[in-house]
Each structure stands twice: as C-alpha cells, then as structure tokens.
Structure 1
Amino acid sequence: MTSTVRRAAAFTLVGSLALLVPVVATVDDPAYATVAAAGPFLAAAAFALTVSDDGVAFELFARPGDHRDGKLYGLAGFALAAAGLAILTVGFGMPDHVYVATVLLVAVGNLGTQVTRLWTAERVLATAGFVTAGFVGAAAGQLVTVQVTGDVTGMPTIAFLAASGALTAALLRAVLFQRDDPLVMAVVGILLWLFSSFPLDITTTRIAVALAVTIVLGYVSYALETASLPGMLTGVLLGLLTIVLGDYGWFAMLIAFFGIGGLAAKYRYDEKADRGIAEENEGARGSSNVLANSLVALVAVLAAAASPEFGLPDRLFLFAFAGAVAAALADTLSSEIGGLFDNPRLVTSFRVVEPGTDGAVTWQGELAGLAGAGIIAGIALVGFESIQPPGAAVVVAAGVVGMTVDSLLGATIEGWLCGNQGVNLLATLAAAIAGGVLAVALGLTAL
C-alpha cells in the first residue's frame, strides 16, 4: 500500500466519525447534541495542529504541503469543515443523511482516486474512481443513517443525492484546487441540502436511466473531444439533474444543444482556426463554456422542481428552460456556421467588419441560428403534450431573442464590461425571460 493510499484511508476513518451525528442528533439537549456532533472533528482538528511533525501520525496524514509547513493543515481543514456541517445538521436542520453523505463522499472519493492511480495515471479514470467511490460511500452512509434514525428517504432519492453530490465534488476538484476538501465539502453539503428540500418523487427507473444515459454520453463527449474533463463533468451533472428534476423531454433538449453544438464547434475547425475564430482546445468545451450556456437552464430546472412550494406552475419554467437552451444552440450555430462566411456585418450599424469581430453576423449564420432554435422547439413539441404549435413558436422566438441579445451585447459591452462567457449567460437569461413572458402573455401558462 502506497503512502497516498494509506493517507486517503486514514482520512476515510476520520470521515467515518460523521456516522456519530445521526445518533447524537436525537438527544433532547441541543447544546449537548451540538458539542457531541462537532466535538470529535474539533478534536481531530486540534490533533492536526498540535501533533509533532516527526512522528508516525504526522507521516500518516501529511500531504505534500504539510511537510513544508510542519502542520497537518489538510487534516485540520477537513475536520473543521466536517465540524461546521455537523453544527448545521444539529442546530439548523440539515438532514442527517445529507450530512453523512457529504463527508463520506469526499473522504471515500479521495480514497477511490488514490486506489485508481495505483493502476493508471489517466486523469479521467482517476476522476471516475473518485465519482464511483464517492457515490458508494455516500449511498452506504445514507443507508446506515436512515436505518438509525428511521428516516423514510427511499433508495432512489439516496442514489440521486449520492450521484449528484459525487459529480459536483468531482467538478469542483477539477476546476479548483485538487485538495481543497473544505470548500468542496461545504458546497456539496449546501447543494444536497437544497435538493433534499424539493418535493421529489424519484422512481428507481428514472434514477437508473439518468445515471446510465448521462455517464455514457459524458464519456462519449470526452472521447470525441467535444468537451474537456471539467466540461464533461458539468454536462453529466446537468444531464442527471435535468432527467431527475425535470423529465426526459427536458434532457432531450439539453443533449441536443450539447451534441449539435459540440459537433458545430468541430465542423471545418482548421478553416475557422485560419480565420482566427475557432474555439480554444480544438473545440472542446470547458466547464465555463458549458455553464455559461446552461446555467440559466439549470436554474429553470431547479425552479420547476421547487415550484409546488411556491404555488407556481412548472410549465412556466419549462418555457424558460426551452427558451434558454434554444438561445444557446442558436447562438452556437450562428457563430460556428456564420463565421465561415465572408463580409459579416456589425449588428448595431450593419457595417462590414472582419470575421470574428464581436457582434458581427452573417445572414447564413442567422439562418443557422434560427434552425437551431427550431430544433429545440421541435423537440419540445414532440416531448411535451402541453406544448402545442403556439408553444413551439414561443420557443423559437425566445431563441431568436437570445441570439440577437448575444450579438448586441457582443457589439457593445463585450471586452470591456464582460467576456464572452458573461455575454452568453446574459443572452440565455434574456431568452428564458422572453420564453416565460411570451407564454404568459399568450395564455399558454399561468403566472
């Protein structure tokens, strides 16, 4: 067993202290319960900051930076984050099983990463090891917790929380610092707490299909180099949330954007590179690109899942989601196809400018963008009985609004107030608002 595997196993043992929290959380005395829940982790943090740097214990837990500092800051940060979440659980209502899942998925996931690295240094496989082990640890921890507390949380919900938590943690580790466990733990804990508050009715079939489809499509996108590792993780997480919190029709629209948009970025790539308009990384989408084009749609999915709590129709958010995705695909096709043609014109003055100029459009690109919006509208029309031809027209209109806003912002504020990703985000937001407003105005949904 290598030192890295031993260290990860030791962290897992510390993380298993989280299983004490569901037991002490049932104590009637809040002060005692809080101390008992956070106490073991606070003791672990105190140990990490006071242990001698020349002993066996230090060598067992020390990360590379700890040797330089002479303190087990990695263990201290991990333990303090777990203690903080324990206080949220006992004092502020974070569900016990969410807390246990969060701590164990980070600890066991790290162990899975190190075990995988015994056989391969391939980054994507090491990440798969983290997600798989984190999922198993989070699911097992939740199963133990619900048995101890008598919670009625079902296995499909447990699997959903474990999978979404493991993917979120893997994404954060990929785009931030590999060893920033306290931040990862805090973000994942809050996110799973939010998900657990939704009125979810997840079936075994739905979660099984969601896991299978999104993982396969995520790997395909990475293998075909249409997405970087962070981009692939972002897409897989969005796909999982869309299927579980939305429906298969929601996912079909999202995957159409990912698939068609990714292929469009690869289309005649060398020619676009010669023109200076090609995407970086040979067209592979990174996490920032994926999130900029999909964040508004994700918020719409979450809002639809939470809509019963606020007395709002989920159909309103369906139009917002479809409009945002239509705008994202329309803008992508407009840029990737339109950029191949000469004599683009600035959208604000119609003056002929160089290809690749922010805010420049061609009529070929506009037609391609319109077709992209039409594709999303067609999927919505087929996938949802509630969206009839007038609803599909709203989706197309919202997509065109978003594509136009993207061009206008590109010609006016891009480069000095915000970058390309910010413009994409604002354009999809405009499209989502347009989709919801048009649907309400035409009587297709209530407000």
Structure 2
Amino acid sequence: MIRRLRRASIFAAVAALAVLAPALGTAAAVPFFAVAGLAFFGVRDGEWFETLALPGDREAERLYGLVSFAVAAGGLALFASLPRAPLPYEAFAAATLAVGAGRFGRTLVSRRTTDEFPLVAGYVAAGTVAALAGQIAVRLQTGAAVDAATVPLLVFLAAAAALTAALVRSLVFARDAHITTILVAFVVWGFLTLDPTVSAPLIAVGLAVTGALGYVSFAIGTASVAGMLTGVVAALLAVVLGGVGWFLTLMSFYAVGGLASKYRFDEKADRGVAQENEGARGTGNVLANSAVALAAVVGYAAAPHAAIPAAPFGAAFAGATATAMADTLSSEIGGLYDGPRLVTTLRRVEPGTDGAITWQGELAGLTGALLVGALAAGGGPVLDPVVSGGVAAGAVVLAAGFAGMTVDSILGALIEGERVGNQAVNFLATLAGSVVAVALLTVV
C-alpha cells in the first residue's frame, strides 16, 4: 500500500508540472519529456522501479505507465504552447491534474476501504480540487481574471474534468492514464469554447444534487459505477448548459426509468424480461438513451455562438427524453403482462420477444412521455421551459415520445438481433423521437 501511495504521489507531482506551462512557454513540454526519458532509460530495476511499476510494467521491464502519461502530458503541453495554439493552458492543466491527483485521491481512500463508490468519490474530489487549483494558477500567470464571476465556471470545468476522467478510467484499463488525459483535455477545451454562463448557486446546487442522485442510483442498484458516472456527467451538463428545466426533465427519466427497472425485478427475471446486470444500467445503456439529448444540450449552448436558433435543440432534447422514458416504461411494465403481440403483425408472441408490445406497456409508456412533456413545457416561476408553447408544446412532446417508442418496437421486430443490439435500437428510437418533436414544433 505504501508503494501504491508513493506511486500515486509521483504521478500527481508529474501532473503538477502543468501549472508551469505559461511560464515556460514553448519549453512547457520539456519537463514532461525529461520525466519520460528518465523513467524509460534510467529506471529499469531496484526500489524506484518496484515503486513506480504498474501492472504489466514488470514483465516488460519498462515503466510504460509513467512514460506514456508523461509523454501524453508533454504532447498536450507542446500543443498548448505553440503560437496561436487552440488548446488553452486551462484545459491542459485541468486535464492533467484531474487525472494525476484523481489517482492519488483514489489511492488514499483505498487505505481505508475497498468499496467502489468511496474510491470513485476520492478520485473525483481530489481531481476536482487539483484541476481547480491548476486553472487558477494558470490564469494568475496569464493575467486572466480570477474573481467571483469566473470562479464558478472554473469549478464547473474542474468537476467536468474529474468526472470525465473517472468515467474514462472506469471504461479503459486503469493504467491507460495517457488516454484519459488526452480525452479529458479535449472535453474541457470544448466546454471552454462554449463559454457557458455559470453562477455560484447553480454550480453548487448542481454538483450537490447530481452527486447525491448518483450515489442513490448506485446504492439502490439502478446503475453501475460507470453508468452512475455517465448519468452524473449528463445531469451536470444539462443543468449548466441548459438550465434547471432541462435538468429536471432529464432527471425524471433517470429516476423513473431506474426505479421501473427494479420494479418487481424478480418476477421479470423469472419471465426472462429483466434488465441485465441485476437492473443496474451501465454506460452503454445510459448513452444509448441519452446521447441524442446530450447532443441537443451542447447544441443549445453552442447556438448563440453559431448564430442559429436554439429552440429546435430544446425540441430535440424533449423528444429524445420522452422517447427514452416511454420506451423504458413500456418495456419494464409491459414485460410483466401476458399476451404480448408483435407490433408489425399483431400476432401473439412469447414475453421478451423483440418488438413485442402489450396494452399495459403502451399505456405506461404514454404516461412516461406525458410526464416528460409536462416538465419540458411546463416551466414555472423559477425556471424557463425547455420548449415554449404551453399545453400544445407538451402535447407535441407526448406525441414525439409515443412515435419514438413505436419506432423502437418496430426496429426491435425488424432488425434487432445478433448484428443490431438493443442499445443501437434505443439510440435510433430517441433520434426518431427528437426528429418528430422538432418537425411538429416547427408547424405548431
């Protein structure tokens, strides 16, 4: 354990070199390449090698884990220091420190527990604090503002960096810190380009609520660790880039859909229609149902910069979310009833058959789409609606959800199988729901 903590400390120290980038300028990559060269050529055995070696390094007799991390950081530093470089120093520092310090935070927590949620929480907390400190250090060197107006944005970028790093780490090998660092740098760069307006109360409440809901989803078994992280990232983007109404609309699907998957789970398992992995949804499932909605959130935030209308993105978001909700409830509730019929022929089939529907499932799906429509179009004194138009807009979202649910059933009956999986069908269905919502709201 002491060796692991020392190793994590070295990774964090290497990551901390990122704060020197503005001062070093075009030489910002030199310290990282020096570390990589020293680790590759100078440390082949002995106590330092045993301390710094990751799984697989001992067989290769090279510190490939540390070397690849330092090279990746050096490449990003070089990219950020070039004349008119598009990669901001803030993105470079946030990404590198989120990964390096996140590893240290996870290792520190592992001294007390092996439970996955505290380990992930340690990674995210340490990564967020370090990424925030790194951004502030960079901005102080470059003369950029660090005040009450900019700090909430920096907190959002730091949290997004740490959460993205934790998510990528959960999907790839733990030793692939170089891949994680590069991906996170480009994610933070993208958010900086969007330049969202972030207030202190919004980011404080957003982080608290999304973190709490993420813990609950993991604790009650409606999401795996990777699925939980994906949901937290998605919810944070919805509240920061969209607003409270967007957040509530998306969270209604996560909450109701997750509970529906656990509802009478044993009975559904006996019937062969239960969600796999004990009902805990992973990253693939979450993204299959949310990718279109998240793309719409990003498009909404980018619309002012591109001088294009933002309203269609709200319609796409609501239509995709209504489809995801309707499809999930129709499957989870409808699977409990006998006498399902194939949507394309209406002949009776066995429960669990792709494309099978029941009237109970259809009613449950419509109810879910109605809830999303009410949240998306309802608005209120403290939040703007996702789609404008009141009751008529809500009805359009309901219709889009029903249309998307029906497309999912048809695709399930026609193409779902060995080559086309359920997640691909879910994605296509939410895309169809978003298209229907945009088309209908255009003419309403």
TM-score (normalised: structure 1): 0.94
Contact 2:55-2:175 within 8 A present in 1 as well: no
Alignment of 1:319-358 (within 5 A): 319-358=315-354
- 1:301 is matched with which residue? 297
One of 414, 433, 436 as aligned partner of 1:434 = 436
**Alpha-carbon offset, residue 194 of structure 1:** 0.4
Counterpart-to-counterpart distance in 2, 1:69 and 1:105:
28
Q: Kindly, what percent of the aligned residue pairs are identical?
A: 51
Cα RMSD after superposing both structures: 1.3
| Alignment match, 1:196 | 192
Q: Which residue of 2 aligns with 1:20?
A: 20
Of stretches 122-131 and 145-154 in structure 1, the one that deviates more from structure 2 is 145-154
Aligned twin of 1:119: 112
Residue 84 of structure 1 pairs with residue 82 of structure 2: no
Q: Which amino acid aligns with 1:227?
A: A
Q: Which runs of 4+ in 1 moved over 3 A?
A: none
2:378–2:394 CA contact under 8 A, matched in 1: no
**Pair 1:377-2:373 in alignment:** yes
Measured in 2, the distance between the counterparts of 1:115 and 1:299 equals: 36
Aligned to 1:412: 414
Q: What TM-score do you get using the length of structure 2 for normalisation?
A: 0.95
Amino acid aligned to 1:396: L
1:54 is displaced (CA, Å) by: 2.2
Q: Secondary structure at the match of 2:29?
A: helix
Shift of 1:441: 2.4
User: How far off is 1:140 after superposition?
Assistant: 0.6
Q: CA deviation digits over 1:57-104, x for unaligned, max 9?
A: 323322232112110101111011101111221233211111111111
Aligned residues: 433
- Is the CA contact (8 Å cut-off) linking 1:89 and 1:96 kept in structure 2? yes
Distance 1:152 1:441 in 2: 45
1:7 aligns with 2:7: yes
The match for 2:48 among 47, 53, 57 is: 57
Report 1:156-167 matches (<5 A).
156-167=152-163
Paired AA for residue 28 in structure 2: A
The separation in 2 between residues aligned to 1:178 and 1:40, in whole angstroms, is 24
Q: CA deviation at 1:264?
A: 0.8
* 1:218-254 alpha-carbon deviations (Å, 9 max, x no partner): 1111111111111111111111111011111101111
1:286 aligns with 2:282: yes
Contact 2:273 2:335 in 1 (8 A): yes
Kept after mapping to 2: 8 A contact 1:231/1:287: yes
2:375 and 2:216 map into 1 onto residues whose CA distance is 22
Three-state SS of the structure 2 residue aligned to 1:190 is helix
Show the counterpart of 1:397: 399
Per mean C-alpha deviation after superposition, the further-off stretch among 58-67 and 225-234 is: 58-67
CA distance in 2, matches of 1:64, 1:438: 55
1:340-389 Cα offsets, whole Å, 9 max, x none, are 11111111111111010001111111111111100000112222453311
Q: Does the 8 Å CA contact 1:61/1:72 hold for their aligned counterparts?
A: yes
Q: Which runs of 5+ in 2 are unaligned?
A: none
State whether residues 51 and 58 of structure 1, in contact with CA within 8 Å, keep that contact through their aligned partners in structure 2: no
Match runs of 1:226-245 below 5 Å: 226-245=222-241
Q: Tell me the equivalent position of 2:94.
A: 101
Structure 1 runs not aligned, ≥5 long = 26-32, 443-447
The offset of 1:55, in angstroms, is 3.3
8 Å contact kept, 1:10–1:60: no
1:363 corresponds in structure 2 to 359
Give the equivalent residue in structure 2 for 1:141: 134
CA distance in 1, matches of 2:436, 2:81: 43
Q: Given that residues 327 and 403 in structure 1 are in contact (C-alpha distance below 8 angstroms), is that contact kept between their aligned partners in structure 2?
A: yes
| Alignment correspondent of 1:46 | 37
- Cα distance in 2 for partners of 1:201, 1:254 equals 20
| Amino acid of the structure 2 residue aligned with 1:84 | G
